[in-house]
């Protein structure tokens, strides 16, 4: 049986018992890989913002994706391939 702590909070700070439970952790990227992705993603995003035009936009987008991967610890490519380096 699920306790009320398994349900997310609403915007008013009340447990929403009608909502489905949160999915289990989806972390599939190891800690060193996460750190490298975060640092490299931040650098690429910074260069992309400083570099104007289409190339800058692409650099910023790739950098943001890498930074997201590092911060969340989830890689959709790994998920599709069934890879998990977090273990």
Decide: pTM greater than 0.85: no
In a domain, 5, yes or no: no
In a domain, 53, yes or no: yes
State the pLDDT at residue 7: 47
In a domain, 43, yes or no: yes
* 37: nearest Cα among 75, 81, 7: 75
Angle (CA) 80 78 87, round 5°? 130
In a domain, 86, yes or no: no
State the pLDDT at residue 52: 87
In a domain, 13, yes or no: no
In a domain, 59, yes or no: yes
Total domains present in the chain: 1
For residue 63, what are the contacts with CB-CB under 8 A and spacing of at least 6?
40, 41, 42, 43, 44, 45, 46, 47, 48
The boundaries of the domain holding residue 72 are 23-81
Given a cut of 90, is residue 17 above it in pLDDT?
no
């Amino acid at each position: 049986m699920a306790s009320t702590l398994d349900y997310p909070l609403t915007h008013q700070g009340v447990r929403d018992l009608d909502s489905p439970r949160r999915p289990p952790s989806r972390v599939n990227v190891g800690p060193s890989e996460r750190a490298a992705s975060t640092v490299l993603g931040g650098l690429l995003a910074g260069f992309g913002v400083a570099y104007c035009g289409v190339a800058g936009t692409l650099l910023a987008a790739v950098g943001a994706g890498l930074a997201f991967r590092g911060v969340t610890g989830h890689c959709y490519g790994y998920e599709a391939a069934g890879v998990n380096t977090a273990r």
